[in-house]
């Protein structure tokens, strides 16, 4: 399923007037592509995903899904926080899509087990979310998104709350699952390394109000593993995205914290560099 986004503008009405979140976003995400979106904080990435998911209406512009519809759900979303139902077992947290569509109950267990096995959590089927680590909870959220059998999976910084090692492991897991399922994925991340590790292409957004500044192809051989991070193509791509992003991050920092504009450019760059690359 292709996602064609044309002239997307979003203005929020707030107490103090209008906030312009998006200022004309154009994008075309290809069928079964792993597509990344990266940009300074507040540039409208979450707003963009919400509009694609149909959770927000654009002020102007359109989102079109183009392709043969093979499954029942159009999109599933994975958030930064797994947002599981604490009173339900892991197994009963997964088949929400089939439940919502009122599929026959016997299918739930089968669907749950299939996707829990895929994220390697079958042994935790009867556990409650509180008994799981943060990384395991996110894996349940990914299983739940897949169980909805969507055309497109939207992910909003799904690993941002996890420790560095868990994040590395989950990136590998996500790649393995995507190689198998081959859904169209749109991933929002602040982490350039993550974008290069996972994506076919990455859109770099401007500082607020967001537009797409550039779309970079990630020409790093697949299958990708941790070792890919030392591949010269990987490093070249990382640097290219960072070059584009650095200017925007600096600009956003100056706008949000005018006092930081007085520090030397090198200082600002080092800080942004650290934030961006972890
Ligand atoms: N429901 C809302 N009402 C009013 N303003 C909003 C609303 N949602 C977002 N905004 C504003 O729109 C702008 C973009 O917000 P958004 O959350 O999309 O940015 P983001 O790129 O996801 O940021 P971050 O990287 O910090 O997650 C911000 O200025 C934000 O304050
Ligand atoms: Mg966001």
Angle between helices 106-118 and 134-147 (to 10 degrees): 130
Beta bridge partners of 36: 187, 202
Calculate how far, in angstroms, residue 89's C-alpha sits from the geometric centre of ligand 1: 33
Does a structural domain hold residue 142?
no
Does a structural domain hold residue 60?
yes
Does a structural domain hold residue 254?
yes
| Residue nearest ligand 1's atom 2 by CA | 12
Does a structural domain hold residue 81?
no
Give me the CATH number covering residue 29.
Answer: 3.40.50.300
Q: Is the dihedral of CA 275, 277, 243, 61 positive or negative?
A: negative
In what helix (H) or strand (E) does residue 172 lie, and over which residues does it extend? helix 164-181
Domains of the chain: total? 1
Does a structural domain hold residue 135?
no
Does a structural domain hold residue 144?
no
| Residue nearest ligand 1's atom 11 by CA | 21
Does a structural domain hold residue 93?
no
Cα dist from 91 to 3, 173, 194, whole Å: 31, 19, 29
Binding site membership of 71 for ligand 1 (Cβ less than 6 Å): no
| Residue nearest ligand 1's atom 28 by CA | 42
Calculate how far, in angstroms, residue 77's C-alpha sits from the geometric centre of ligand 1: 17
**What is the atom index within ligand 1 of the atom nearest the CA of 44?**
18
**What is the atom index within ligand 1 of the atom nearest the CA of 40?**
25
pLDDT tens column, 206-242: 998 999 999 999 999 999 988 999 999 999 999 999 9
pLDDT tens column, 163-219: 888 888 889 889 988 988 889 999 999 999 999 999 999 999 999 899 999 999 999
Binding site membership of 10 for ligand 1 (Cβ less than 6 Å): no
The whole domain housing 21 covers: 2-71+149-277
- 82 burial via Cβ count (<10 Å: 0-12, 13-18, 19+): buried
Does a structural domain hold residue 95?
no
Helices and strands per DSSP (H, E), number in the chain:
9, 9
pLDDT tens column, 21-77: 999 999 999 999 999 999 999 999 999 999 999 999 999 999 999 988 766 678 999
Distance in angstroms (rounded) separating the CA atoms of residues 27 and 23 = 13
Distance in angstroms (rounded) separating the CA atoms of residues 110 and 108 = 5
Q: What is the pTM of this model?
A: 0.89
Binding site membership of 50 for ligand 1 (Cβ less than 6 Å): no
């Amino acid at each position: 399923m292709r996602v064609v986004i044309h002239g997307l503008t979003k203005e929020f009405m707030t107490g103090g007037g209008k906030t312009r979140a998006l200022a004309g976003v154009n994008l075309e995400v290809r069928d079964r592509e792993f597509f990344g979106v990266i940009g300074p904080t507040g540039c409208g990435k979450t707003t963009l995903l919400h509009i694609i998911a149909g959770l927000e209406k654009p002020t102007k512009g359109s989102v079109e899904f183009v392709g043969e519809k093979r499954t029942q759900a159009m999109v599933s979303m994975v958030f930064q926080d797994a947002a599981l139902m604490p009173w339900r077992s892991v197994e009963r947290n997964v088949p929400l899509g089939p439940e919502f569509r009122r599929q026959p109950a016997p299918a739930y267990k089968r669907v749950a087990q299939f996707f829990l096995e895929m994220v390697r959590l079958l042994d935790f089927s009867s556990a409650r979310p509180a008994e799981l680590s943060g990384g395991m909870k996110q894996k349940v959220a990914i299983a739940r998104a897949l169980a909805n059998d969507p055309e497109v999976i939207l992910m909003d910084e799904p690993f941002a709350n996890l420790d560095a090692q868990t994040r590395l492991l989950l990136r590998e897991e996500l790649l393995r699952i995507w190689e198998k399922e081959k859904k169209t994925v749109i991933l929002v991340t602040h982490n350039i390394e993550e974008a290069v590790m996972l994506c076919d292409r990455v859109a770099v957004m401007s500082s607020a109000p967001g537009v797409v500044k550039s779309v970079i192809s990630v020409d790093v051989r697949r299958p990708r593993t941790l070792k890919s991070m030392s591949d010269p193509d990987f490093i070249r791509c990382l640097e290219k995205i960072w070059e584009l992003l650095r200017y925007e991050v600096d600009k956003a920092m100056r706008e949000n914290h005018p006092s930081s504009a007085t520090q030397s450019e090198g200082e600002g760059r080092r800080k942004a560099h650290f934030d961006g690359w972890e």
